[in-house]
Amino acid sequence: MKMTRILTPLALAVSATLGTQQVLAGPSGYEPVGPPKLYHAGTAVVRLGGSYVDPDNTNASLRNPDIFPEFVVDGRRGFDFDLDSEWSWQFSAMFMPFDHFSVEYMYVGESSHDTDIRVDNFVNDGFRRNFRLNDLDRTTNVLTVNWFPVCPESWVQPYVGIGTHYTDFDSVRVREPVNEALAVVGDAVGPARLSVGSSWGWVGQVGIDILFGRDSNWLVNASAIYLDMDLTADLDYAVRGLTNDDEERLFYNSVRTKFDPDPWLWNIGIGYKF
């Protein structure tokens, strides 16, 4: 009799608890009813769009000024580069191994930047202050880890990221007015070349994905990426000289400078979520 008195209230309590859990669990009986997660672990996104490459700083400092005194005036060393901003295209692929975090690879396609150079000493020799060198072709690869701070159910997903980049420039022949100036100032013979080295550096970015509705996999993306970029540029030209045996031959001078363009990438495009 005592056992019945104990078990009956216990059975009623267990039954009531199970019933309450069924109600709270929703129609499936396993999880609460709510909007589905849109950005969660296992989500992948590809994006394609345009990219505006905007150098932030183009000042340069001449190395070894004692070897090239013709490019130093009043103690001021060397070159000022002026890299024009330019449009390009970009593609990125992103994967989320965990909720709120993703790994992203971006490729920014080739863009040709008009490049001017200013060498003060050319002014003293009766030449123009600014010279148009040529177009420099650039490509950039970016790898970042991004953080998405809002809830995975949101169809508007802002993010911030940090990572690294590899940027490559092609070498080009300079234009004829520069060759003429080098012939007077530096006894140059024949065409000169401008070579800009490749660069590794860190990047930071902010961006946002906006889905075209909660039930759509298509989205629009916008982002801004800052690239820390340290470049070395060589202006190479040939000069005539004598060997130890008093034979005339061509030697090559390389006027080397270092500059930090630190460009911004302003991106806009569309994407698809898997």
Interatomic CA distance for residues 178 and 174, integer angstroms? 6
- State the pTM of this model: 0.76
Tokens coding 47: 């994006």
Mean pLDDT, rounded, for 160-188: 84
Statement: residue 213 has pLDDT above 60: yes
**CB under 8 Å, gap of 24 or more: what pairs does 72-79 form?**
72/121, 73/120, 73/121, 73/123, 73/124, 74/120, 76/120, 78/119, 78/255, 78/257, 79/117, 79/118, 79/119, 79/233, 79/235, 79/255, 79/257, 79/259
- When comparing pLDDT for 16 and 271, which is higher? 271
Tokens coding 235: 């202006």
What average pLDDT does the structure give for the chain? 79
In 15-129, DSSP assigns E strands to: 44-54, 60-62, 72-73, 76-77, 79-83, 86-98, 101-119
Statement: residue 220 has pLDDT above 70: yes
State pLDDT tens for residues 43-79.
999 999 999 998 887 667 667 666 676 666 555 555 6
Residue 79: per-residue pLDDT:
62
